Amino acid sequence: MKLTGIVSVSAVLSLMVPFSLAQQSQLLVVQKGDKNLAIYDPGTDTIVTQIPVGGNTGHEVTASPDGKMAFVPIYGDSGVGQPGSDGSSMAVIDIAAQKVTGTIDFGKGVRPHQPVFGPKDGLLYVTTELDQSVTIIDPKTLKIVGTIPTGQPESHMLAISHDGKLGYTANVGPGTVSVLDLDARKMLKQIAISGKIQRISISMDDRYVFTSDQTKPQLAVIDTATGLVKKWINLEGLGYGSAVTPDGKLLLVAIPAKHALAVIDLKSLKVIKSVGVASDPQEVVVSSDGHTAWVSCESANEVLGVDTTGWNITDAIQSGKLPDGMALSEPK
């Protein structure tokens, strides 16, 4: 691009940043302590921008399949099952424009928490804890088009099968997993796991669902065909967020108290490595090429990139306060 005359640096950046965001993969991170969504450039380990998402606190984020929009449910100022404010909305963010462009109103306090796009229907599924449900949103119209009951309180996190047929919620306080039929919009069953659980993820072949026991340092491996716990995998500490690598071979689990990332081989269902990270790791997302695992470390106010070949920390981004939920925006 050839520039003529005198142009300020800020003017050039205002032209270039939206183009850059529209073309490159971006890492989206909810910074709970600052009540905003940060957009990071993984290539330079810098924060591109920080977007306020309202007067209350969001915990999780997802990006639209085309990488253009981000959705941040506004949960409230409490922990799951704890007293505090009850969020009733979700912020809709245009990533290239770097601003909130819409709001989805749930009509009452429901503590909306995790948004997940359905891979088959393109609809947005959001856990709405206080209604003991998953709310379904049309992302094109930003309208609520349905709900699915979970039958349990504290349905905090959600995983959807890759064929788009089934959903699985981690019901924290009850220690159960609800299995949902997304087409029929009904609950099929509840699976008892432990006295308390946290987070949930699913294998690439939809064979297993994983959730971390919060009463013992172990991970439940649920066989989706039988609806039973197939195996318990011992961990070095209580597990939290987890993510499967795109090749389906490994599961990565954050271990907050041990400041570590457990690496589990999904063929043997055993921990094969522990990777030291910064304090209080919360969530894990893996790049689409499988080369980098991003880990939000809440107490350290840091987001780390871990090389999944040598298991070295290759990126360290100083974030805002209390980074938690993350998503990758990968424009198509």
- Between residues 67 and 21, the one the model is more confident about: 67
In a domain, 19, yes or no: no
Q: Does residue 6 fall inside a structural domain? A: no
CATH no. for residue 219? 2.130.10.10
Please give the pLDDT value at position 331: 78
158 touches 148 (CB < 8 A) = no
Q: Is residue 66 part of a domain?
A: yes
Backbone angles phi, psi at 293, to 5 degrees: -105, 125
User: What is the arithmetic mean of pLDDT over 100-122?
Assistant: 97
Quick one: pLDDT at residue 23? 55
pLDDT digits (tens, 9 = 90+) for 76-91: 999 999 999 999 999 9
> Distance of alpha carbon 72 from its chain centroid, rounded?
10
Average pLDDT estimate for 121-144: 98
**H or E element that contains 23:** helix 9-23
The string of pLDDT tens digits covering residues 3-55 is 333 333 333 333 334 434 445 789 999 999 999 999 999 888 889 999 999 77
| DSSP SS3 for 256 | helix
pLDDT at residue number 302: 97
In the 8-state DSSP scheme, what is residue 96?
T
Task: Please say whether the beta carbons of 61 and 30 come within 8 A.
Answer: yes
Task: Please determine, for residue 211, whether its predicted confidence score (pLDDT) is greater than 50.
Answer: yes
Please state, for a pLDDT cut of 70, what percent of the chain lies above it: 93
* pLDDT surpasses 50 at 287: yes
194 in a structural domain? yes
- Taking the CA atoms of residue 97, residue 100, residue 106 and residue 109 in that order, the dihedral angle to the nearest 10 degrees is 150
Structural domain range at position 76:
25-329
CA atoms within 13 A on the CB side of 99: 3
Cβ–Cβ under 8 Å, residues 100 and 91? yes
Residue 9 domain-assigned (yes or no): no
Give the mean model confidence (pLDDT) for residues 285-306.
97
Specify the pLDDT at position 188: 98
Which has the closest alpha carbon to 158: 121, 43, 150?
A: 150
Instruction: Tell me if 3 is assigned to some domain.
Output: no
Binning pLDDT at 50, 70 and 90, where does residue 157 land?
A: very high
- 265-274 per-position pLDDT tens digit: 999 999 999 9
* For residues 52-63, average pLDDT: 92
Structure tokens at 239: 């597990």
Residue 66 has pLDDT above 50, yes or no: yes
Instruction: Please give the tally of structural domains in the chain.
Output: 1
How large a percentage of the chain has pLDDT more than 90? Answer: 89
Say whether 263 sits in a helix, a strand or coil: strand
CA Rg, the chain, in Å?
Answer: 19
Average pLDDT over residues 82-103: 96
What does the alpha-carbon distance between residue 196 and residue 255 come to, in Å, rounded to a whole number? 16
Domain assignment of residue 10, yes or no: no
Q: Please report whether residue 16 resides in a domain.
A: no
Q: What's the chain's average pLDDT?
A: 92
